[in-house]
Structure 1
Amino acid sequence: MFNNIPPVTRNIIIINVLMFILTSFMMPQLYNTLSGFYPFSPNFKSWQIITHMFMHGGLMHILFNMLTLWSFGPILEQSLGEKKYLILYFASGLGAFFLFNLWNFYEVQQLTNELTNANVNVAEIFMKSDLKKFGFDPTPYLNNKQALNLYADLITPMVGASGAIFGVVAAFATLYPDAKIAMMFIPIPMKVKYLMPVVIVVSIFLGVSGNVGGIAHLAHVGGALVGWILARIWRKHLYRFN
């Protein structure tokens, strides 16, 4: 059955699984090196813009993402062709990283201004957030909510293929709007053109309101936006691809 999955989707799944095994069991020290930190954090490295897409926070996280990719990816890979499908996947992942960190930048600037006005040494918080030098130590900031939130923003990485996969799902919804799908929290099959906007609106609300629950909701929105844009551009030539 696995051999019947088109090559790009199959290889993406394989790479994700191998990276999960490597960073979870064999070389866990690589987890922070490859995860996607806030670009102005001392923990950020340029390659994380790409490598964060292959990192996952746990077994259920990677299982859900890979099952979703397996469900939607093959259809799009066959419709668009390998090259454009690969562009869709990585461009959506980059869009997710950009939008998530654009909102992070707004939050960090807000916290920085509040702390500066309160005569707190913000530069020290940035310096102490270097996990390679200082490890994880929030103790100095436990009595200051803004300082603790800033520290958390600087040491908490973005991980997962969710942004790229949301781009794939959004592209599917754009190209095949009348297809019916069911999701875990909506067990009744619905046309994807109705379901996807609901998911996006909820993601925006959760991402902006701060009710994230450890989930990068705005990354999902960024990925979906790129997927939608690319599918809108390409769908006029869909039959030419085939």
Structure 2
Amino acid sequence: MMALRASVFRWVSEDISSKHYLTNRFTLQTQQRSGFRKVAKREEPKKGVAEEAEQNEILHKKGVAPAPDPPTPHVPTRSFGRLVKPLVFTIGFTGCSFGGAAIWQYESLKSRVQGYFNDVKADWLEKKRPQKQGDLGKQVSKWWNSLSDGQKTVTGIIAANALVFCCWRVPSLQRTMLKYFTSDPSSKALCWPMLLSTFSHYSLFHMAANMYVLWSFSSSIVNLMGKEQFMALYLSAGVISTFVSYVSKTAMGRFGPSLGASGAIMTVLAAVCTKMPEAKLAIIFLPMYTFTAGNALKAIVALDTTGLILGWRFFDHAAHLGGALFGIWYIIYGHELVWKNREPLVKLWHDFRTRGRGAGGNGSK
């Protein structure tokens, strides 16, 4: 005879609120509310290990699979071993950037000498040829020629940032953008996002502010270094500042994606301010208040150091600080250690080009 047990249920009116988190560069929070009434379930005593094993054995005999364990949420581990690959990528990419810049400068000087007479001839033909009025190409050429070498150099960087900004607005590209154009030490993709995130902005104001600062300091930094060395410094700074961010996030256990050119721009800003500390700077909205570049650099470093210590999350202060320190180091020590020792590489490239041209000449005879 089976015994029946009666149970009393009490209905309780309650609101059910739940939060759903989307883990990407921008944390989105949505709340859902419901007015359904729910039966309060009676708590049953937890089964022991022996009882659970016995129940699983009975289910196995009946041919029913036991209920699987609920999945555990993925929690990023604070493993510094994951930073070995980004470290190797940072060193290798920095070396390739400066090596490629040295070869680029060699080729530029060589083509400039070889094309001197061609430029003279082109100028002579331009004077003899009747000028077209209202030609759009001519207006663009006139505007381009009015730019400084620094402004011409950073125009390509600004165009790349604008292109990536537009890609963020394409829904079908969201997964790719999140994977490769945001940097996060807990992500599966670790290396290439260190570079690609430097050209990535989701906010129009963020991109406009960064590109304005880069445009403002472009003439000074290119006149100081040349376009080839500047490009090597800028690209390397983006990767190095991201690696510093990786180290900081891993050490503090505060994982999350980052993006933006702020780390590389901080390197440019720090390099110019270190080389010309007495230069006068002003804020665009307050042009009447001026301050020296040296004091501005000290204030920026102090602000990012404070933000890093206190754990502020509005900016990636570790990337800012890493970029600024790299710019200071490069002006004081790096230029002598890296760029002025490029002659052996340039000589190897020159010998390679000479032998290649010689072999081609012999083969054509």
- Change in 2 beyond 3 A, CA 1:17/1:2: farther
- Change in 2 beyond 3 A, CA 1:218/1:234: closer
Q: Tell me the equivalent position of 1:37.
A: 183
- Change in 2 beyond 3 A, CA 1:221/1:184: farther
> Structure 1: how far apart are the matches of 2:196 and 2:270?
22
Write the mapping of 1:1-242 to structure 2, written as runs, cut at 5 A.
4-6=147-149, 7-25=152-170, 27-39=173-185, 41-108=186-253, 153=255, 156-183=256-283, 188-213=289-314, 215-233=315-333
Q: Any idea what SS the aligned residue of 1:24 has? A: coil
> Structure 1: how far apart are the matches of 2:165 and 2:227?
24
Q: Any idea what SS the aligned residue of 1:169 has? A: helix
The one-letter amino acid paired with 2:309 is V
Q: Tell me the equivalent position of 1:125.
A: none
- Change in 2 beyond 3 A, CA 1:92/1:16: same
> Structure 2: how far apart are the matches of 1:63 and 1:2?
21
> Structure 2: how far apart are the matches of 1:186 and 1:32?
36
TM-score normalised per structure 2 = 0.48
The one-letter amino acid paired with 1:83 is E
> Structure 1: how far apart are the matches of 2:308 and 2:290?
26
Q: Any idea what SS the aligned residue of 2:202 has? A: coil
- Change in 2 beyond 3 A, CA 1:2/1:205: farther
CA contact (8 A) 2:168 2:202 kept: no
CA contact (8 A) 1:9 1:77 kept: no
Q: Per-residue displacement from partner, 1:38-83 (whole Å, max 9, x unpaired)?
A: 33x2443421111010111300000000000000022211221112
Deviation at 1:91, TM superposition (A): 2.0
> Structure 2: how far apart are the matches of 1:235 and 1:42?
34
The one-letter amino acid paired with 1:176 is M
Percent identity among equivalent residues?
Answer: 26
> Structure 2: how far apart are the matches of 1:179 and 1:232?
18
The one-letter amino acid paired with 2:238 is G
Q: Tell me the equivalent position of 2:84.
A: none
The alignment yields a C-alpha RMSD, in angstroms, of 2.4
Q: Per-residue displacement from partner, 1:141-169 (whole Å, max 9, x unpaired)?
A: xxxxxxxxx6xx2xx31100000000000
Higher-Rg structure is 2
CA contact (8 A) 1:34 1:55 kept: no
The one-letter amino acid paired with 2:236 is A
- Unmatched segments (≥5 aa) in structure 2: 1-142, 341-365
